[in-house]
Structure 1
Amino acid sequence: MNSLDGKYRPYPPIALPGRTWPDRVIAHPPIWCSVDLRDGNQALIQPLGIDAKVEFFSLLVGIGFKEIEIGFPAASETEYAFVRRLIEENRIPDDVTVQVLVQAREHLIHKTFEALAGVKRAIVHLYNSTSSVQRRVVFRKDRKEIIDIAVEGARLVQQSAAALADTDVLFQYSPESFTGTELDFAVQICEAVADVWQPSRERKIIINLPATVELSTPNIYADQIEWFCRNFDYRDASIISIHTHNDRGTGIAAAEFGLMAGGERIEGTLFGNGERTGNADIVTLALNMFSQGVAPGLDLANLPQIARIVARNNQIPIGARHPYAGDLVFTAFSGSHQDAIRKGLAARRVERAPLWEVPYLPIDPADIGRHYEPVVRINSQSGKGGVAYILEDHCGYQIPRDLQIEFSQIVQEICDETGKELTPSEIGEVFRAAYMPDEPFRLGNHETRCDVVNETTSLTCVIRQGDASREISGNGTGPLSALVNALREAFGFQLSVLDYHEHAIGEGQDACAISYAQCSVDGKPPRYGIGIHRSTEVATLISVISSVNLSIQGSDEAGEVERPRRIRQIEEQNNGAG
């Protein structure tokens, strides 16, 4: 592997003085042409059947494609029958132009136009291979002979189009393997085809310049596009189309650079399916534009549903890290990332700024039908910010900072021991189990009386301990301090409240209160307890009793706080789940 022995060589750079494409930006969307039903379909282990192709076509129309390559009707009976079904069942909207691919061969051209009978408007996409290696190795023909093939194909397409009554036929030519073709020859053969078709500014042809095989860095592809546009005599009478593949993993970048270099049209597939490593990924290209403030002209607002349909028909799963559509792309496991996302989302709610600025999230997941649920996912690498976000987003709990730190350690320990990720519902359950223990003490009925003149509150309540009950009473400045004094007197605790917070959860009739009380009992480390109840007063009392319970439950022999029984059960369930 380390010794190349001259087997490979670098792709030569393009001599292009004064190149302008690096200074340009993509300010408007291109003409989009989906080739899922041709280029994407032929790359499938099991090509689509006619019914699946019809469903896929409807999906593409719904997304907003106005140009759709529907196949290679001369290649097989299935392809031919699909084209006929779309036409005969009037499934092609008036504002959608279908495109068909055909090699520059007479019998294939005749079959293709036979398939198009009755269509209102179509693009006939003619191609032949032009690269130096294909000319030498595959066809064993010189430049003139390759041009003759293209010119004869162009004539046959033109003649057949003239004979197709009531159909508006547009012409497209691809010098296949453009990236492996000498630039002067690419211009020469495209001009020879254009000489036959005689385009004008009013009726343009499409010149498609495919990176059929990605051979170079994307900047060189952009140089090729700009060089071609500078030197092609019919530039004003043509639409320059970009069709990249992903052999080097830079097909999307090459397509973007190609647009900057003069391309006006993109051929690609949803999620990049195609031969070998795939085509240009139109979903990613479109949403890249969207993230830069450019409306892409495609409706991807329900991207999860689109992804499900495409994956089911292609029988190819969409990767978890696939840009925008992957299950994990709007997910943060890192604690620092989770904290930044949580703060960014909180700032948006407060500032109500129109500009989307949230760390680690290039776009708002809601814009493409994704939800905030997967933004933060909890495993052993997560931090306090992520755990706090989950509790707030899913449960409505706005826990104090010290409690965030303490609880995140519990979560991390569970994830470490089980090797599993905790779901939001499990995190909420663990939180309640950790901070609402029901032993040894439970709150029974209680009564409070307020002395308005003396600004004091008296409390009488029942404390249950196992099967026993005990009535205790105390006075204070409010229910909280009255309960603290009652517990001190009844049980002899050295009890003090170090921190207390409360807030509402939910709205209207479903609203309730949550209270967080951090208490110190008999000099032991302070512990937080929580109380949740429709009554704010009851939630307050429960939070104090929860804190006392945690303090007096004691520590294990290692000095660590013993986990409540329900947490141990959750750990055991997760350990047995895999």
Structure 2
Amino acid sequence: MLDNPLNSSAISGDFNHRKYRPVATFNKSDRRWPDQVITKAPRWCSVDLRDGNQALVEPMNPEQKLDLFKLLVEVGFKEIEVGFPAASQPDFDFVRKIIEENLIPDDVSIQVLTQSREELISRSFEALTGAKKAIVHLYNSTSTVQREHVFGMSREQIKAIAVEGAVWVKQCAQQQPDTDWTFEYSPESFTGTEMEYAVEVCDAVTDIWQPTVEKPVIINLPSTVEMTTPNVYADQIEWVSDNIARRDCLQISLHTHNDRGCGVAAAELGLMAGADRAEGTLLGNGERTGNMDVITAAMNMYSQGIDPMLDFSNMDKIIKVVNQCTNITIHPRHPYAGELVFTAFSGSHQDAINKCLHRRQTNDVWDVAYLPIDPADLGRSYQEVIRINSQSGKGGIAYVLEQDYGVQMPRWLQVDFSRHVQHLAEQNEGEVSSKEIWQVFRETYIGSAQAIQLDGYQLTRQDNRDQLNATMILENKHVALSGNGQGALDAFVGGLTQLIGADVVITDYSEHTLGNSEQSDAIAYIQLSIDGQRYCGVGQSADIVEASLRAVLSACSRAQLVMSPLPKKA
């Protein structure tokens, strides 16, 4: 009997999982990192201008690189990898430009990357001549697959490459004593390297460099290709920290990639495992699926009350500059930075956000449903938080009208009005703007198309009773109304009941001003029961009594009590 193709675990063709094998997990039974929490920001190093640049279809030109460099400084990076000057003339020229034109702040170290080859190291130091503070980042690949399939070299031969490079770096630095040098070493493809061998190579390099507590060396442990789950990377970082020589004289650095979509998670767990430093790019640009996204990682800390030591308060500017320099458009759902990440279309989400924001006091700790941070912290406005489409509900519609037009609809009016916006959204088959919602609101409750209009009124008071005489316009005819009651509304509804013979009862009412000045209009909301059926109305006027009377007539118009000349019920 043939297998049901729908139940097959493999699809015909080249999509065949059987040609892969799981990466071996790291056997570590004494792990401590799961009990740790991140309490402070690491040393950040931006690699946008090197790792991010070499990943572009069209690498940045000198003007773009300078714009991005200035942005990185403005955001607050103190370590910036500015290029691979031995690999290309544009990178070399850019390094010279920012040094010779004194564009590097005194508290910022520029970093350059070089392979462990004498001529490349020499060229890198030539590019750095005259720099006040610089990091020379030396690397060579140590992984099993690189040793066996790319280089065809033994462990000892690969280690010798690293040691020779360390010697050349030290010698070149001694020839330029006026620069404050920091050395960094990466066993490239660290996550594909046997851990004891990775430590052996790093120890051999630091034997040459002889770091001290006052002058530490950076040991960068890159997830050059993300091969497994982030917890394994954390195990590796913790194991290296426990077994590497001169740990107190080292800064353990992370450089994660995002092949499995876990670049940020791996870096976070790596910091929990004891790392001191993290390399990445703004918005995660980098080879293949990218580097660690520094904005996401730093803002994750910020959302937990930790100072990220980087300033992302002008997020729109950051996005604009990065986009102009890389020609990469940011996804609208990109964490923290995307256009829609703080936007709710769902009705239940909108209602929860609206209620939380209404209850929140200015100095309260941030605790708002569905919003992990305050959008205003990133320069985003609250007008962007709730947007309306066919998935939205009454709470979102109410929020938009209040934010943009000052209308504070009571719940019963929200229920009544939401179906009108829902109908419009379904017709549009997309988002409904605030302006469109306001137009529908006015047409439904306030506009001149209402069947019954108030022409004028007079109100007098005698013996604690109010006498109201009003004139209404119905089908271009004037209709007089007179009533007596406890207050203008009571008198008006009483007179209306006598005039039309219907049973009119006020079931709910509220009012407020639409602004903060004495000249601001008043708006009144009313719900009437007319012969047992409920109808909502809204009135607006500079006079609160007139606004209330107009709200009553709005509800009557919506009840379709269009009777000329409003004869009494028989």
Question: Could you say which residue in structure 2 is the equivalent of 1:379?
Answer: 389
User: 1:425, 1:214 → 2: CA distance?
Assistant: 47
For the pair 1:291 / 2:291, whether they are aligned, the reply is: no
User: 1:476, 1:115 → 2: CA distance?
Assistant: 91
Corresponding residue SS for 1:207: strand
Instruction: Return the match for 2:511 from 476, 491, 502.
Output: 502
- Alignment-mate amino acid for residue 441 of structure 1: I
For the pair 1:440 / 2:451, whether they are aligned, the reply is: yes
Matches within 5 A, 1:393-404: 393-404=403-414
Question: Could you say which residue in structure 2 is the equivalent of 1:484?
Answer: 493
Cα deviation, residue 437, structure 1: 4.2
Matches within 5 A, 1:310-349: 310-349=322-361
Instruction: Return the match for 1:540 from 539, 544, 548.
Output: 548
Matches within 5 A, 1:111-190: 111-190=123-202
Matches within 5 A, 1:29-178: 29-178=41-190
Q: Which moved more, 1:366-375 or 1:282-291?
A: 366-375
Cα displacement string for residues 491-522 of structure 1 (whole angstroms, at most 9, x for unaligned residues):
5554332221112222124532110111234x
User: 2:364, 2:503 → 1: CA distance?
Assistant: 53
Q: Which moved more, 1:298-307 or 1:214-223?
A: 298-307
Corresponding residue SS for 2:559: helix
Question: Could you say which residue in structure 2 is the equivalent of 1:194?
Answer: 206
Q: Which moved more, 1:205-214 or 1:534-543?
A: 534-543
Corresponding residue SS for 1:68: strand
Question: Could you say which residue in structure 2 is the equivalent of 1:559?
Answer: none
Alpha-carbon contact 2:10-2:17 (below 8 Å) kept: no
- Alignment-mate amino acid for residue 443 of structure 2: A
Cα deviation, residue 546, structure 1: 0.8
Corresponding residue SS for 2:163: helix
Instruction: Return the match for 2:534 from 526, 530, 535.
Output: 526
For the pair 1:268 / 2:280, whether they are aligned, the reply is: yes
Q: Which moved more, 1:387-396 or 1:156-165?
A: 387-396
Question: Could you say which residue in structure 1 is the equivalent of 2:401?
Answer: 391
Corresponding residue SS for 2:539: strand
Alpha-carbon contact 2:218-2:250 (below 8 Å) kept: yes
- Alignment-mate amino acid for residue 119 of structure 2: H
Cα deviation, residue 129, structure 1: 1.0
Q: Which moved more, 1:37-46 or 1:472-481?
A: 472-481
Cα deviation, residue 123, structure 1: 0.2
- Alignment-mate amino acid for residue 443 of structure 1: L
Cα displacement string for residues 511-551 of structure 1 (whole angstroms, at most 9, x for unaligned residues):
32110111234x37321110122221121111111111111
Cα displacement string for residues 429-461 of structure 1 (whole angstroms, at most 9, x for unaligned residues):
21221122433222223322223xx11222233
Cα deviation, residue 269, structure 1: 0.4
Alpha-carbon contact 1:437-1:550 (below 8 Å) kept: no
For the pair 1:28 / 2:36, whether they are aligned, the reply is: no
Corresponding residue SS for 2:159: helix
How many residue pairs are counted as aligned between the two chains?
Answer: 549
Cα deviation, residue 122, structure 1: 0.2
- Alignment-mate amino acid for residue 405 of structure 2: C
Give % identity: 52
Question: Could you say which residue in structure 2 is the equivalent of 1:562?
Answer: none
- Alignment-mate amino acid for residue 550 of structure 1: R
- Alignment-mate amino acid for residue 531 of structure 1: G
- Alignment-mate amino acid for residue 377 of structure 1: R
User: 2:387, 2:199 → 1: CA distance?
Assistant: 53
Alpha-carbon contact 2:393-2:418 (below 8 Å) kept: yes
Q: Which moved more, 1:306-315 or 1:317-326?
A: 306-315
Alpha-carbon contact 2:416-2:536 (below 8 Å) kept: no
Which sections of structure 1, spanning at least 5 residues, go unmatched?
Answer: 555-578
User: 1:427, 1:255 → 2: CA distance?
Assistant: 45
Instruction: Return the match for 2:478 from 454, 457, 469.
Output: 469
Cα deviation, residue 119, structure 1: 0.9
Cα deviation, residue 472, structure 1: 3.5
Cα deviation, residue 384, structure 1: 1.9
Alpha-carbon contact 1:495-1:520 (below 8 Å) kept: yes
Question: Could you say which residue in structure 2 is the equivalent of 1:513?
Answer: 522
Alpha-carbon contact 1:65-1:96 (below 8 Å) kept: yes
- Alignment-mate amino acid for residue 365 of structure 1: P
Question: Could you say which residue in structure 1 is the equivalent of 2:10?
Answer: 2
Question: Could you say which residue in structure 1 is the equivalent of 2:320?
Answer: 308
- Alignment-mate amino acid for residue 373 of structure 1: Q
Question: Could you say which residue in structure 2 is the equivalent of 1:576?
Answer: none
Alpha-carbon contact 1:505-1:511 (below 8 Å) kept: yes
- Alignment-mate amino acid for residue 392 of structure 1: E
Question: Could you say which residue in structure 2 is the equivalent of 1:239?
Answer: 251
- Alignment-mate amino acid for residue 259 of structure 2: D
User: 2:232, 2:52 → 1: CA distance?
Assistant: 25
Cα deviation, residue 553, structure 1: 6.2
Cα deviation, residue 304, structure 1: 2.0
User: 2:274, 2:10 → 1: CA distance?
Assistant: 39
Corresponding residue SS for 1:13: coil
Cα deviation, residue 466, structure 1: 4.4
Corresponding residue SS for 1:36: coil
Cα displacement string for residues 106-136 of structure 1 (whole angstroms, at most 9, x for unaligned residues):
2211111111111101000011111111111
User: What do you get for the CA RMSD once the two structures are aligned?
Assistant: 1.8
User: 1:5, 1:346 → 2: CA distance?
Assistant: 52
For the pair 1:430 / 2:447, whether they are aligned, the reply is: no
Which sections of structure 2, spanning at least 5 residues, go unmatched?
Answer: 1-8, 563-570
User: 2:481, 2:31 → 1: CA distance?
Assistant: 86
User: 1:353, 1:94 → 2: CA distance?
Assistant: 37
User: 2:157, 2:198 → 1: CA distance?
Assistant: 14
Q: Which moved more, 1:184-193 or 1:425-434?
A: 425-434
- Alignment-mate amino acid for residue 25 of structure 2: P
Question: Could you say which residue in structure 2 is the equivalent of 1:550?
Answer: 558
Corresponding residue SS for 1:530: strand
Corresponding residue SS for 2:58: coil
- Alignment-mate amino acid for residue 545 of structure 2: E
Cα deviation, residue 386, structure 1: 1.8
For the pair 1:254 / 2:271, whether they are aligned, the reply is: no
Instruction: Return the match for 1:409 from 413, 419, 434.
Output: 419
Cα deviation, residue 165, structure 1: 4.3
Q: Compute the TM-score of the two structures, normalised by the length of structure 1.
A: 0.91
Question: Could you say which residue in structure 1 is the equivalent of 2:464?
Answer: 455
Q: Which moved more, 1:383-392 or 1:13-22?
A: 383-392
